[in-house]
Amino acid sequence: MCDQTFLAITFGPCDNCSQNKPLMNIYLKNEPINYCSLCVELMACQGLAKGETIHTLKTESETLKAKLEEERAKLHDVELHQVAEKIEALGQFVMKTRRTLKGHGNKVLCMDWCRDKRRIVSSSQDGKVIVWDAYTTNKEHAVTMPCTWVMACAYAPSGCAVACGGLDNKCSVYPLSLDKNENLAAKKKSVAMHTNYLSSCSFTNSDMQILTSSGDGTCALWDVESGQLLQSFHGHSADVLSLNLAPSETGNTFVSGGCDKKANVWDMRSGQNVQSFETHESDINCVKYYPSGDAFATGSDDATCRLYDLRADREVAIYSKESIIFGASSVDFSLSGRLLFAGYNDYTINVWDVLKGTRVAILFGHENRVSTVRVSPDGTAFCSGSWDSTLRIWA
Amino acid sequence: MSSNSNLTSMKRTVEQLKLEASVDRIKVSQAAADLQQYCLQNASKDALLVGVPAGSNPFREPRSCALL
């Protein structure tokens, strides 16, 4: 039992590397220390085993990479679209803009649906975060963040709060009150702190924890109430642009994608990177799990979207066309996983047949880049946000 | 000091690759069949795929316009 109270600092200079970062409070030889999460991880790898040098480690890593490719290739017996040849092709799609949400003064960067299937939160470049009722297009709440480029926003599972962040390097939670006149900014709670911009955030299955990804190359899990860093995820070698939690109730994994062209799958409890995929030729802008949780799709600046299967541990489909040369900024699946909606920088939304690999529709309407695409929780519609400062609901 | 941190990062990379190489994998044919089965099983519930009867999709309902 420790008699002294240990002052748990959550953000400050690391005792090892001296950088100002979120800290983990641990005991080393019975002494309390404050190390940043990266130093804690590196501690496990210090010291060489007998006969190891930089050179032997390098050779070992090359051999392992080759072995990984070999193992993956052994199981590549067929392509997804070949397996899907026998099923019926999809008919013509009639999807139109059913609502246009106007009110942002500048580029819409992110949006999220509420679990009640009708409310939406969206954030924009000018710092505004707006909560809308998608059925009526009325604005229910609006708050102005103290920073510009609010690149991430998320609705809490209870529907009672929203989280957002961007160039302020933080993720803040705003509880939504029923009183429309109440100043939301007054109740703001700063939860996450990164050392670079916040690119994406998501509540886990409850309002109590938030998962964030940042331009500093890490993802992190935070406790909302205390602001404490619960787990940190290191593995990307450049900005992490997107993350998505696995759909299963019991699932404790999430996938992240970034500027290092890698998509990584993480175990939330251990912080371990369990699988990694590197087949894209440019930044991965968006990652989204397939509804069953066994696969995920990515959208990238290389103008393709790809599907990776987790159990086969490889890429199983590429969604691309020679005529599509602009990057895909955002992707999402329909409820059954048969359709993949992807928003592109050429102002269009392409709808792909996930199994057959073909494009089934192109949706025009936005007057600038499509920055975000999300299907509603019950799958009846999807919403797209664009740099033309509007959001559109399609059904 | 920098050579030490290079060493540690290299060691970390090797440990990570060992972990990734040891993952249990299944054949693509099996994985593809499962993905397909999920799609087909849930196709009927997917409103964006099959469409729902007019009137039950709240977004397709014509909104009443309030004339002031």
Same-domain check for residues A93 and A32 = no
Total-model pTM: 0.89
Q: What is the DSSP letter of B49?
A: H
Same-domain check for residues A359 and A235 = yes
Please say if the pLDDT value at position B1 is more than 70: no
Please say if the pLDDT value at position A131 is more than 90: yes
Q: Is residue A52 part of a domain?
A: no
Q: Is residue A167 part of a domain?
A: yes
What's the whole-number mean pLDDT along residues A209-226? 95
* Number of domain units in chain A: 2
**CATH 4.10.260.10 holds for B1-45:** yes
Is B42–A79 a contact, with Cβ atoms under 8 angstroms apart? no
Helices (H) and strands (E) in chain B, counts: 3, 0
User: Is residue A355 within 8 Å of A312, Cβ to Cβ?
Assistant: no
What CATH code is carried by the domain that includes residue A360? 2.130.10.10
The more confident residue out of A257 and A53 is: A257
Same-domain check for residues A229 and A378 = yes
Please say if the pLDDT value at position A142 is more than 50: yes
Please say if the pLDDT value at position A301 is more than 80: yes
Residue A50 is predicted with a pLDDT of 65
What are A143-184's pLDDT values in tens digits? 999 999 999 999 999 999 999 999 999 999 999 987 766 777
- Name the B residues in 7-66 with CB < 8 Å from any A CB: 7-21, 23, 25-36, 38-43, 45-49, 51-52, 57-60, 63
Q: Is residue A220 part of a domain?
A: yes
Rounded Cα distance, B50 and A226, in Å: 45
What's the whole-number mean pLDDT along residues A350-368? 95
Please say if the pLDDT value at position A74 is more than 90: no
Please say if the pLDDT value at position A124 is more than 80: yes
Q: Return the domain boundaries, chain B.
A: 1-45
3-state secondary structure of A353: strand
Please say if the pLDDT value at position A313 is more than 90: yes
Is A65–B36 a contact, with Cβ atoms under 8 angstroms apart? no
What's the whole-number mean pLDDT along residues A217-233? 93
User: Is residue A254 within 8 Å of A203, Cβ to Cβ?
Assistant: no
Residue A106 is predicted with a pLDDT of 94
Residue B22 is predicted with a pLDDT of 83
Same-domain check for residues A40 and A117 = no
Is B17–A395 a contact, with Cβ atoms under 8 angstroms apart? no
Same-domain check for residues A87 and A39 = no
Same-domain check for residues A369 and A266 = yes
User: Is residue A236 within 8 Å of A249, Cβ to Cβ?
Assistant: no
Residue A335 is predicted with a pLDDT of 94
Is B13–A309 a contact, with Cβ atoms under 8 angstroms apart? no
Residue A49 is predicted with a pLDDT of 67
Please say if the pLDDT value at position B54 is more than 70: no
Q: Is residue A1 part of a domain?
A: yes
Same-domain check for residues A270 and A349 = yes
Q: Is residue A165 part of a domain?
A: yes
> Which residue segment(s) compose the domain that A368 sits in?
83-394
The ipTM of this complex is: 0.84
Please say if the pLDDT value at position A3 is more than 50: no
How much of chain A is helix, strand and coil, in % rounded to 5? 10, 45, 45
Highest mean pLDDT among A32-46, A57-71, A190-204: A190-204
**In chain B, which residues have their Cβ closer than 8 Å to the Cβ of A96?**
none
Please say if the pLDDT value at position A227 is more than 70: yes
Shortest Cα distance, chain A CAs vs residue B22, angstroms: 9
Residue B66 is predicted with a pLDDT of 47
Is B59–A64 a contact, with Cβ atoms under 8 angstroms apart? no
**A273 touches B: beta carbon within 8 Å:** yes
Residue A288 is predicted with a pLDDT of 97
Same-domain check for residues A91 and A35 = no
What's the whole-number mean pLDDT along residues A329-349? 96
Same-domain check for residues A99 and A11 = no
